[in-house]
Structure 1
Amino acid sequence: MIETFAALLLAHAVADFLLQTSGMVATKRSARTLFLHFAIVLVTAQAALGRVDAWEPLALAAVHIAIDIVKAYTLPNRLASFLADQGAHLLTLAAVALLSPGLFAGGAWAAIPWLPGLMAAAAGLVFATAAGGHVVALLVSPWDRSVLPEGLPNGGRLIGLLERGIIFLLILVEQPAGIGFLIAAKSVLRFETTSKDTRAGEYVIIGTLASFGWAMVVGYGTMTLIEALLPPTP
C-alpha cells in the first residue's frame, strides 16, 4: 500500500506543480484547461504506477478534476483554500492506495525495490520547493510587496526555492543543525533591508519563517514516509 501511495504522490506533485502552468491555473474554469489537466493527472499516475491497464488512475483523475472544479467555483484564492484543495487530493491518493494496495506491485516498476523511496523523496522535494512557493505567496498576499526594495527579476522566488530545497535536503541527510546556519546567513544578507524599514522587515520575516517552516514540515513528513517504505529490521 505504501509503495502505491508514494508513486501516486509523486504523480500528483508533478501534475499539479511541475506540469500545471500559471496560464492553466488562471483559466481553471475553462473546459479545455480542465480536460488538459485531467489528461496530465491520468498520464502521470499511469507512468508512476508503471501500468495502463488499471481503472484506478482514471477514477483518480476524475476525482482530481472534480475537486479542482469545486475550488475554482466556490473557494477564494487564499492559503486556506490551497491547503484544503491539497488536503482533499492527498486524502484521495490515500483512499486509492488503501482500496487498491497492489497497484504498484502489479506494475512495470515493481521489481525495483528502491524506486518507491526515490519517488517519495522526489515528491517531497517538489512539495517543499514548488508547492512551498505557492504557500508563501498566498500567505503574504494581503500585504503590498512594493515595501521591499527592487531586486533582480524573480530573485526572491529563486531564493525561496533554493532555501527550501536546501532545508529539505538537510533534513533528509539528518543534518537539521545546518538550518540554523542558513537562517543566520539569510539574516546577515537581509539585515540592511530589515533594519531600515519596519514594514519590509516584517514582510521578510513572515515570508522567511513560512518558507523555512513549510520546508521542515514537508521534510520530516517525507522522512516518515521513506521510513515506512523500508523493510522491517529483524
Structure 2
Amino acid sequence: MKRTLAQIGGSGSGHVIPSRAHRRSSVGASLNHHVRHVAHDGDARLIEHRQRRLGQPDGRPAFRSSGFQRDTLAPLALMAVSHFAMDYAKTRWLGDRLWSFSLDQAVHISVLVALALAWPDLARQSLWGMAPSDVQLQIYAVLSVVCGAVVGVPVGGVVIKKLVEPLAPTSAPPNGPLPTAPIIGMRSAGRYIGWLERGLTITFILIGHPEGVGFLLAAKSILRFRDVQDQTDRHQAEYIIIGTFLSFGWALFAALATKAALAHWFAPL
C-alpha cells in the first residue's frame, strides 16, 4: 500500500507535511468563513439601514408594556382636547366656510405633527412595533396608500365642494326662459361620480399608467358635452369645467404624494 508524503516525512524527520487534500480543506474552510463573515456584515448593514429608516437605533423594538399606557395617555388627551376645542370654535364662532375649514384642518394636522415630534417612541409602541423591520415597512406602505385614498377621494369631495360653492349657479339662466320641468337625476350622483373619477385617477397613477387619466378626462368631457354646449347658460358650463379640473387636480396631487411616500418606504437599500 502506498503511503502519502505526510506519512513519509512524519516517519523520517518528525515533521508532518500536509497533504494536498488537507490543504484544500483548509482553504475551503477559510473561504467559507470569509463568505459567512461578508454575508453577516451585509445582513447587519441591511438591518441597520431599515432600522434607521424606521427611526429605531437597533433591531429590537422599543416596546415597553409597563409604560405603554402611561406614555400614551398624555398625547391622546392632548389630541382629543385640541380637536374638540377647534371643532367647537369652528361650529360656534367661525361658521362653515372655506377659510374656517382650512384653518380647522391645519390645526388638526399641526397638532398631530407636534405630538409625533414630542413623543417619537409612540410608533415603536404601536401594534406593529414588535414586527420585524421589513414587515413594518410594508405596514407603513399600506397605510400610505390608505391615507392617499382617503385624502384623494372622500376628503377631496369636501374640499372641492367648499372651493366651488361660491361659484355655484343660484338662479335660472338670465338669457333664457325658465325650464318647464325640473331635471331630476340620481340622488347624490355627483358625489359618487367625483369619487369614482378621483379613485380611478389615483389608481392609474399608482399602477404606472398615467395615460388612463387622459382617457378618463376625455370620457367625462364627452358625457358633459351637452351640458357645456348650452350657450344660454355659460355660468353653468364654466362651473362644471372648473369643478372637473379641480377634481382631477386634487386626485393627481393625492396620487403623487402617495407615490412619493411609497418611494420613501421602498427606497433602494
Change in CA separation of 1:60 and 1:159 when aligned onto 2, cut-off 3 Å? same
Higher relative contact order (CA 8 A, sep 6+): 1
State the shift of 1:157 in Å. Answer: 0.8
Contact 2:169 2:235 (C-alpha < 8 Å) held by counterparts: no
- Residue 70 of structure 1: how far off its partner (Å): 2.3
1:220 corresponds to: 256
Structure 1 CA distance, aligned partners of 2:262 and 2:219?
Answer: 30
Identify if the C-alpha distance between structure 1 residues 123 and 71 changes in structure 2 by more than 3 Å, giving closer, same or farther: same
Q: If the length of structure 2 is used for normalisation, what is the TM-score?
A: 0.62
Please state how far the C-alpha of 1:86 moved relative to its aligned partner. 1.2
Question: Per-residue displacement from partner, 1:88-115 (whole Å, max 9, x unpaired)?
Answer: 2112111122222221211222214211
Check if 1:144 corresponds to 2:178: no
5+ long unaligned stretches in structure 1: 5-50
Match of 1:156 among 190, 198, 209: 190
Matching residue of 2:143: 119
Root mean square deviation of aligned Cα: 2.5
Change (3 A) 1:146 1:213: farther
Which residue does the alignment assign to 1:32?
A: none
| 1:178-189 alignment, distance < 5 Å | 178-189=212-223
Q: How does 1:70-219 map to 2 (within 5 A)?
A: 70-110=89-129, 111=131, 112-113=135-136, 114-142=138-166, 143-144=168-169, 149-196=183-230, 197-219=233-255
Q: CA deviation at 1:150?
A: 3.6
C-alpha separation between the residues in 1 aligned to 2:117 and 2:53? 9
Question: In the alignment, is the contact (CA less than 8 A) between 1:125 and 1:168 conserved in 2?
Answer: yes
Partner SS, residue 88 of structure 1: helix
* 2:201/2:248 contact within 8 Å kept: yes
1:65 pairs with 84, 88, 103, which one? 84
SS in 2 for 1:67: helix
Q: Is the 8 A contact 1:136 1:210 kept in 2?
A: yes
Q: Secondary structure at the match of 1:105?
A: coil
Q: 4+ residue runs of structure 1 moved beyond 6 angstroms?
A: 1-4, 145-148
- For residues 205 and 2 of structure 1, the distance between their equivalents in structure 2, rounded to whole angstroms, comes to 43
Give the whole-Å Cα distance in 2 for the aligned partners of 1:126 and 1:93.
17
Does the residue aligned with 2:92 lie in a helix, a strand or coil?
A: helix
Aligned AA (2:149)? L
The one-letter code matched in structure 2 to 1:175 is H
Cα deviation digits, residues 157-198 of structure 1 (max 9, x gap): 100011111111222223222211111110001001110142
TM-score normalised over the length of structure 1: 0.71
DSSP 3-state at the match of 1:82? helix
Q: Distance in 2 between matches of 1:109 and 1:217?
A: 29
| Preserved CA contact (<8 Å) 2:157 2:194 | yes
Moved more, 134-143 or 184-193: 134-143
Please, which runs of 5 or more residues in structure 2 have no aligned partner? 1-51, 56-67, 173-181
Amino acid in the other structure paired with 1:200: Q
Q: Larger Rg: 1 or 2?
A: 2
